[in-house]
Structure 1
Amino acid sequence: MAKSEVEVITSERRRRHWSRAEKERIVAAALEPGATILGVARACGVHGSQVFRWRQQLCSKPTSAPGFAAVTVAAEPPVAAARTQGLIEVELGAETRIRISGAADAATVTAVITALRAGKR
């Protein structure tokens, strides 16, 4: 299969440069009803994978640039205050765990454990 047209690149660049307008024109032609990307690529003298890449670049949603989030560094609580608050951790079987931090009265803890046991039956 012989091509009737040959392109000779005489610049120092070895690769062909496509402007954004040319890329948009080729991608638009490939998106026409009944057109195939490979058919349009052959007609324009481009490799099919290049047209797929251009379509991905031109038709994808723009992503926001990564940035920094505002962060506030809080001071650690005093050690004495952390000890007075307390922590209760109860495991009922392998799947149920409850963690209560801070001040909790015995009636509340008993009610929570009773409710969890009733739900396991």
Structure 2
Amino acid sequence: MDSGTVEIITGRERRRRWSVADKLRILAECDAPGVQVAEVAARHGVYRSLVFQWRRQARDGLLVAEPTPEFVPVRVAADRHGEAIPEPEPVPPPPPSPRVTAAIEIELPDGIRVRIGEEVGLVALRRVLAALRG
């Protein structure tokens, strides 16, 4: 008797366009120790014969990563009228940002304020307070 269950069998997707980066990433997965090409291919929905074809292309230098764009130094030697452009003055580095430190501010009855940073030791603080009282 039929149980009413329908089984859908799916195959691998055909004619997918893989980017060079995707191909190289899949090949890198295949190169890991103990990994089987068939497992990696199945995980990505690609035939293992295609993975071997990509491997052959990579070995033959036909499948290579696109070069990473790089910045190169540029120097303008002359303006459009052929006159030399003076080199700009080097820009000094910005001053270091002030270090935020903990501080205590004490206001004495006569209005004098004493601000003490965390780098001041207890002995020095006692001397300053004694001098202000005296």
TM range (shorter): 0.3 to 0.5
Q: Name which one, 1 or 2, has greater alpha-carbon Rg.
A: 2
Relative to the length of structure 1, the TM-score reads 0.39
Relative to the length of structure 2, the TM-score reads 0.35
Name the one with the larger helix percent.
1
Higher RCO (CA < 8 A, seq sep 6+) = 2
